[in-house]
Structure 1
Amino acid sequence: MAPFATYIAFIALADVLERVGAHANSLRWLYPVQVGLVLAMLLAWRQHFVELRTAPAARHVWLALAVGALVFVLWLLLDLEWMQLGTPRAFVPAGADGRIDWPLVALRAAGATLVVPLMEELFWRSFLLRWLVQRDFLSLRPARAGLGAITITILLFGSEHKLWLAGMVAGLAYTLLYMRSETLWTPILGHAVTNGLLAVWVVATGSWIYW
C-alpha cells in the first residue's frame, strides 16, 4: 500500500500548492520526486512481491499487448466533457520561456510506462481486489475474486483518473486480464502498453492534457 499511498499523496500535495498560489512551473518537478520515491519503495520491498516471481504464458502476453493497445484507443475516445472529473489540468513540461524540457518529458514517460503500472497493479489488482474478498489475500486465486470486489475496485480505479469512464474501462480490462491469466505480470504489461502508447501520443501531438 505504501508506494500507492505515496503516489497519491504527491497528487494531493500538488493540488494544495497550486491552490495556495504556487506556479505550475515550480510544481512540474514534483513528478520526478514522486516517481523516484515510489520506485525506491518498489525496489526496497521487491522480495515481498511474491506474485512477480511467476511469468505469464506466451498467449497471455500477446493478449495483454492487444488489450493494452485497445485500452489506449478507448482512452482517447472516452474524453467527452461529461466523462471527466473536474476541470482537466495538463502537465506541460515547459519552462517560463515556453521551451519543452525534454529530460522532464523522458522522466514523465518512463514513470508512466515503467513505474506506475507496477505500483498500481500491485495495489488495485494484487492487493485490494482480493483483500475485499478475504484478508489473507495472497492465498486467494485471482479468478475467485467476487463481483462485489471487482465492481468496487473498478469504480475506485476510475475515480482515481480525470477521465473516470476511461479509467473504469481500463480497470475492467486489467482486472479481466488478471483473472484470466492469474499472473500479475499480465495486467502490468497491458497497463504499461496503454501508458506507453499514450506517452508517445502525448509527445507526438502535444496533447499534454492527457498527462
Structure 2
Amino acid sequence: MPVTELPESTAARPSALPWIAPFAVFMVWMAVWPFIELAQPWEEVLRLGVLALVLLTVSRRVVFSLRVSHFVPSVLLGLAVFALWVLPEQLWPGYRSHWLFQNAITGETVSTIPDAWLSDPTMLALRITRAALLVPLLEEIFWRGFLPRWVVSNDWSRVPMGTYNTLAFVGTALLFASEHGPYWDVGLMCGIVYNWYMAKTRSLGDLVLVHAVTNGALSVFVLMTRQYAFWM
C-alpha cells in the first residue's frame, strides 16, 4: 500500500505548543489558585515548580535558544519601562483611583500579596523569582515570540522574529494591556515599547532581558516603598 505523504509545508510545520503552553498554564493557575487549599509556602513553590517544569520540558528548545545581543541597551530600556510603569502614581497621587482604572472590567488596584508574606523572606524571594525570572520568559515567548507571527501568517514559524505588521503590533499591544487590569494604560505603553524593540532588534532573548529588568526593578521598588498594589 502506498504511503500518503503530507505536503511539505504541513509536515514541516512545528508545533505551537512550546510557545503557548507556559503562558497558558500561567493564566490558568492565576484563575484557579485562590481556590487551591494549600498552605504557603508550598502553594507558591508548587506554582513555580509547575511553570519551571513546563518551560524546561515542553519549551526547552525555545528557552535554550535565546540569546542576548544588545545587553546594555536592553538593561537600560528595562529600567526606562520600569520608570514608565511607576511614574503616574508618583507624579499624580490618586491617579490610579480614577474610574478608568478601577471598575468592574479592569478590577481594583489591590495587592494579592497576603500580609503574612510581607515579613517572610522566603515568600518574598519566591514572589520575586516568579516576577523577575519566570514571567518574563513565559510572557515574551508568547507575546513577542509567537502571537505576532501567528497574526501575520498561519504558517507562523516561517515568519522571521520581529517582522512588523500593523495588526500584529497594535493587537498584541492591546491584548498585553488587557492582561494588566487596572494598569492597562502603562501596560499598553509597555506593550508598544516592547513591540518596537522586538521589531528593532529581532531578538527574543533581548526582550526577555528587558522584561526581566523591568519586573526586577519593580520588585525592588515595591519592597523599598511598600507600594504593594504594584504586585497584583
Match of 1:123 in 2: 142
> What is the identity, as a one-letter code, of the residue corresponding to 2:61?
H
- CA apart distance, 1:29: 5.7
- Counterpart in the other structure of 1:92: 113
Partner Cα separation in structure 1 for residue 180 and residue 198 of structure 2: 20
| Offset of residue 54 of structure 1 | 5.2
Separation (CA, whole Å) in 1 of partners of 2:66 and 2:41: 36
Closer, same or farther in 2 for the Cα pair 1:77/1:149, shift >3 Å?
A: same
What letter corresponds to residue 53 of structure 1 in structure 2?
A: S
Identity %: 32
| Residue aligning to 1:195 | 215
Alignment partner for residue 65 of structure 1, among 75, 80, 87?
A: 75
**Residue 78 to residue 147, structure 1, CA distance change in 2 (3 Å):** farther
Partners of 1:92 and 1:12 lie apart in 2 by 15
Q: Which residue of 2 aligns with 1:133?
A: 152
Asked whether the equivalents of residues 130 and 145 of structure 1 are also in contact (C-alpha less than 8 Å), the reply is no
| Structure 1 stretches of at least 4 aligned residues deviating more than 6 Å after TM superposition | none
SS at match of 1:142: coil
Aligned residues: 200
Instruction: Decide whether the 8 Å contact of 1:10 with 1:30 is kept in 2.
Output: no
8 Å Cα contact 2:78-2:214 kept in structure 1: yes
Going from structure 1 to structure 2, the CA distance change for 1:178 and 1:208 (only over 3 Å counts) comes to same
- Give the conservation status (yes or no) of the 8 Å contact 2:136–2:212: yes
Please give the TM-score of this superposition, normalised by the length of structure 1. Answer: 0.84
Partner residue, 2:92: none
Query: Does structure 1 residue 55 correspond to structure 2 residue 67?
Result: yes
5+ residue gaps in structure 1? none
Which residue identity does 1:180 align to in structure 2?
K
By how many angstroms is 1:86 displaced? Answer: 1.5
Q: Which residue of 1 aligns with 2:28?
A: 9
Q: Deviations over 1:117-147 (max 9, x none)?
A: 0000001110001111112222212342301
Question: In the TM superposition, what is the alpha-carbon distance from 1:77 to its structure 2 partner?
Answer: 2.1
CA distance in 2, matches of 1:149, 1:36: 32
TM-score, normalised by the number of residues in structure 2: 0.77
- Looking at structure 1, the residues matched to 48 and 113 of structure 2 have their Cα atoms a distance apart, in angstroms, of 17
Larger mean CA deviation between 6-15 and 78-87 belongs to: 78-87
Q: Which runs of 5+ in 2 are unaligned?
A: 1-19, 90-95
State the Cα distance separating 1:194 from its structure 2 match: 0.3
Write the distance in 2 (CA, Å) between the matches of 1:189 and 1:165. Answer: 22
Given that 1:7 and 1:35 are in contact with CA atoms closer than 8 Å, whether structure 2 keeps it comes out as no
- Would you say 1:45 and 2:58 are equivalent positions? yes
RMSD: 2.4
What's the offset of the Cα at 1:99?
Answer: 6.2
Aligned to 1:185: 205
Quick one: structure 1 residues 54 and 206, their matched pair in 2 at CA, closer, same or farther if it must change by over 3 Å? Answer: closer
Q: Is the 8 A contact 1:6 1:34 kept in 2?
A: no
Aligned partners of 2:33 and 2:59: how far apart in 1? 28
Tell me which amino acid in the other structure corresponds to 2:127: R
Deviation at 1:73, TM superposition (A): 0.6
| Equivalent-residue separation in structure 1 for 2:164 and 2:118 (angstroms) | 48
Query: 2-side partners of 1:30 and 1:146: how far apart?
Result: 40
Please say if residues 93 and 104 of structure 1, whose CA atoms lie closer than 8 Å, have aligned partners that are also in contact. Answer: no
